[in-house]
A and B are shown apart, each in its own frame.
Chain A
Amino acid sequence: MNIVAQKILPPNATSAEPFLARYRGLRAGLPGPRAPREAAADLLRRRGLPGPRDEAWKYTSLRPLTELQFHAALTDAGDHPAPVALPHLGALAESPRVVFVAGRYRADLSQLPDQITARRFAGHLGTQEAADDSQLLALNTLLAEDGALLEVAAGIDAGTLLLIHMGADLSGTPAAFHPRHSVHLGAGAALTLVEISAGQGTYLHNPVMDIDLAAGARLAHLRLQIESPQAFHIGAVHAAIAERASYDSFSLVLGARLARSEIHARLGGTNCHAALNAAQVLRGAQHADFTTVVSHDAPCGTSRQTVKNVLDDHARGVFQGKIEVARAAQKTDGYQMNQALLLSPHAEIDSKPQLEIFADDVKCSHGATVGELDADQMFFLRSRGIPQAEARGMLVRAFLSEALDLVQHDAARALFDEALNAWWETQAP
Chain B
Amino acid sequence: MLEIRNLHAAVVEKPILQGIDLVVPDGEIHAIMGPNGSGKSTLAYVLSGREDFAVTAGSVTFDGADLLAMEPEQRAQAGLFLAFQAPVELPGVGNANFLRTALNAVRRARGDEELDAAAFLKLARAAAKSLHMPDDMLKRNVNVGFSGGEKKRNEVLQMAILRPKLAILDETDSGLDIDALRIVGDGVNALRSERFSALVITHHQRLLDHIVPDRVHVLAHGRIIRSGGAELARELEAQGYAQVIAEAA
Contact = CB atoms under 8 A, between A and B. Distances in A.
B158 interface: yes
Given A385-B106, A398-B92, A380 B84 contact: yes
B91 A390 contact: no
Q: Counting chain B CB atoms within 10 Å of each CB, which of A385, A395, A401, A402 scores highest?
A: A385
Interface residues of A, number: 24
Contacts of B60: none
A377 B90 contact: yes
A183 to B, nearest CB: 32
Chain B residues touching A, range: 20 to 34
A386 B73 contact: yes
A403 to B, nearest CB: 10
A404 to B, nearest CB: 10
Contacts of A391: 73
Contacts, number: 71
A57 interface: no
Nearest to B99: A384
B209 to A, nearest CB: 28
Contacts of B88: 374, 376-377, 380
A127 interface: no
A383 B82 contact: yes
A386 B158 CA distance: 13
A387 interface: yes
B90 A385 contact: no
B73 A398 contact: no
Interface string A370-395: 00001111011111111110110011
Contacts of A264: none
A384 B162 contact: yes
| Chain A residues touching B, majority SS | helix
Given A390-B101, A394-B98, A394-B101, A382 B72 contact: yes
A316 B217 CA distance: 53
B76 A385 contact: yes
B71 A380 contact: no
Nearest to B164: A385
B172 interface: no
Nearest to B89: A377
Nearest to A397: B92
B99 to A, nearest CB: 8
A423 interface: no
A408 to B, nearest CB: 18
A385 B162 contact: yes
Contacts of B34: none
A391 B97 CA distance: 12
A399 interface: yes
B91 A383 contact: no
A382 to B, nearest CB: 4
A388 B76 CA distance: 12
A337 to B, nearest CB: 14
A151 to B, nearest CB: 39
B92 A402 contact: yes
Q: Counting chain A CB atoms within 10 Å of each CB, which of B75, B84, B92, B158 scores highest?
A: B92
A376 B88 CA distance: 7
Contacts of A397: 92-93
11 contacts: A374-B88, A377-B88, A379-B51, A383-B73, A383-B82, A384-B76, A384-B106, A387-B105, A397-B93, A398-B91, A401-B92
What 7 pairs between A and B have smallest CB-CB spacing?
A398-B92, A385-B76, A384-B102, A382-B72, A385-B106, A401-B92, A385-B105
Given A384-B162, A385-B162, 15 more contacts: A379-B72, A380-B84, A383-B50, A383-B76, A384-B73, A384-B98, A385-B77, A385-B106, A387-B105, A390-B105, A394-B101, A395-B93, A397-B93, A398-B90, A400-B92
Interface of B: 48-52, 71-73, 75-77, 81-82, 84, 87-88, 90-93, 98, 101-102, 105-106, 109, 158, 162
Interface of A: 374-377, 379-388, 390-391, 394-395, 397-402
